[in-house]
Structure 1
């Protein structure tokens, strides 16, 4: 097939997306597909082999059988590009508009998953205008801190952008105090977010479960992955994820079979409740009371060394075969689903 790989983007995860896109393009080429690179630069300019600009990009995309939106963060993984492709009628890898938007929004993910009976951590949304006000007024900040503590979020807590990934803009606060909260809000907002989520820490290991939809519609889980983050980092930070040699991954995760099966059931339930399609990496924190959903990534990092491909490699699925499955599933889904109708 002729496959467009859209990568880059305007979010804070631009560099991660470029690396993912390059990996996907190489894998698709090795699987025998014709690859068409479509780069969205930091300024939002679309660049294709035929030239630059949105109209040129539209012509390029219309000439492809499938598109891979290998984008992370806002204006890419949040349903915007997925909607653009669906309007054009170009089949694409991954989740449709609503699922993409819900999964990139940490608060919406919690609400949908929680309503489906999937455990989530206690948390409070701080809407954009209040978050901004609290960074500018000591009175507003004191009141916000008091309200959060009264809701049970005394600490430890994580302060994170509602939209975003790669742990960019995330701060861990051992105790929720006004001064530290104010600095954490500034960090979260500077990462390109608007509203901010303050969430209770779940003490325990992070275990990720890869979910893959096959061309025939079967949804399958691969081997889970246990993260042993760099002990010198306060949590699984951006540095621990992408730069530290001290971070270790164990695949498959060394867990009791009953816990592994439970995590897989929860992962598939979250995938279905949120309306995901194609693939997802469903991340859990395993606390003393059991697993708690951390987040759902509709297009996780996708270099050959990234967690999702690494988990499937442990199941015997080589990287070129994995990206080939993704585009074939997208193509089959477009045949099975009439134009304008979303599953």
Structure 2
């Protein structure tokens, strides 16, 4: 197939996106596909025209655009299939406050939070207990995330985000250890236990992307009940958000059990990324993972086309009755 490999973009996760795309391009070539790299940063205005000359688009974007559903919506408009979730699930998952509302409504535990999209009014008091994390509401890779231990430090942390035009999500720190679980199709892959080595506080950007930044053990050496619980919650979050193809959900395991931090619809695909590691533990090579994602993307496109055809048939029936 002629595959448009979309990576780069203009978020602060651009370099991570390009790094993963280099490995994806090699895998696509080994699978026999003709690959055209496409970077939305210089080429956005030609996206739909370029996409229409291809059979499939493979996205490796992080942050906005990409994880926000914009590129997916444009590809849908162009009639070009792609891997992963559609626009709706992509937007909901990237918006951390929306994700937490949806998951809590579905009985999926998540730490208490406060959504702060603009500079708070004078006299505003944070409703959460310290310590807490201050995160970009629409970001990933732990970029610009800070741990705040007191009210005196909260203001500067919020100012740092607002100065970059970002919305803030405040989240109570949940003491425990971190696990993550990917979903492929509608099956939870082996879980991963994460222990940061470069930062003692949390799984930050350096721990995620520098060699030796963290110990990532897959399958996670935890008891069967906890393993099953994390896999169950990852699949429930995937379905609650309407994700398709694949996703990866991150958890903190507290004394009372795992709590969901976030769900990623375009998880990282670098040499140190977690989804390829989980797939390998399930007996799947990187190339096989890429091939499976394409297969799932084509199946999603076929379902969408059938649904559109059925809707058009219903419209035609009612139109005939009006006559």
Deviation at 1:194, TM superposition (A): 2.6
Aligned equivalent of 1:50: none
SS in 2 for 1:207: strand
Please tell me whether the aligned partners of residues 161 and 189 of structure 1 are also in contact (alpha carbons under 8 angstroms). Answer: no
Aligned equivalent of 2:232: 265
Distance 2:213 2:244 in 1: 34
For residues 1-343 of structure 1, the aligned pairs below 5 Å read 1-40=1-40, 44-46=41-43, 54-55=45-46, 57-130=47-120, 140=122, 143-144=123-124, 147-148=125-126, 151=127, 153-174=128-149, 176-178=150-152, 180-190=153-163, 192=164, 194-213=166-185, 219-230=186-197, 232-243=199-210, 245-338=212-305, 341=308
Q: Number of aligned pairs? A: 309
SS in 1 for 2:212: coil
Instruction: Give a deviation string over 1:43-90, Cα, whole Å, max 9, x none.
Output: x311xxxxxx623x3332111111112100012210111111111111
Stretches of structure 2 lacking an aligned partner (at least 5 in a row): 310-323
* TM-score normalized with structure 2 length: 0.91
Distance 1:117 1:265 in 2: 12
SS in 1 for 2:88: helix
Distance 2:213 2:9 in 1: 29
Please tell me whether the aligned partners of residues 89 and 339 of structure 1 are also in contact (alpha carbons under 8 angstroms). Answer: no
Please tell me whether the aligned partners of residues 103 and 109 of structure 1 are also in contact (alpha carbons under 8 angstroms). Answer: yes
Instruction: Give a deviation string over 1:304-343, Cα, whole Å, max 9, x none.
Output: 431110111111100011001111111122122227759x
Distance 1:243 1:269 in 2: 31
**Would the alpha carbon gap of residues 339 and 84 (structure 1) be closer, same or farther in structure 2, given more than 3 Å must change?**
farther
**Would the alpha carbon gap of residues 228 and 341 (structure 1) be closer, same or farther in structure 2, given more than 3 Å must change?**
farther
Stretches of structure 1 lacking an aligned partner (at least 5 in a row): 47-52, 134-139, 214-218
Distance 1:323 1:186 in 2: 40
Deviation at 1:112, TM superposition (A): 0.5
Please tell me whether the aligned partners of residues 119 and 162 of structure 2 are also in contact (alpha carbons under 8 angstroms). Answer: no
Distance 1:12 1:128 in 2: 20
Distance 2:260 2:308 in 1: 30
**Would the alpha carbon gap of residues 193 and 120 (structure 1) be closer, same or farther in structure 2, given more than 3 Å must change?**
farther
Distance 2:213 2:36 in 1: 36
Please tell me whether the aligned partners of residues 3 and 64 of structure 1 are also in contact (alpha carbons under 8 angstroms). Answer: yes
Deviation at 1:186, TM superposition (A): 2.5
Please tell me whether the aligned partners of residues 233 and 240 of structure 1 are also in contact (alpha carbons under 8 angstroms). Answer: no
Please tell me whether the aligned partners of residues 230 and 244 of structure 1 are also in contact (alpha carbons under 8 angstroms). Answer: no
* TM-score normalized with structure 1 length: 0.86
**Would the alpha carbon gap of residues 193 and 108 (structure 1) be closer, same or farther in structure 2, given more than 3 Å must change?**
farther
Deviation at 1:27, TM superposition (A): 1.2
Measured on the aligned residues, the alpha-carbon RMSD in Å equals 1.8
Instruction: Give a deviation string over 1:145-204, Cα, whole Å, max 9, x none.
Output: xx21xx3x2311001110100111111012x223x11221133335x5532111100111
Deviating runs (4+, > 3 A) in structure 1? 339-342
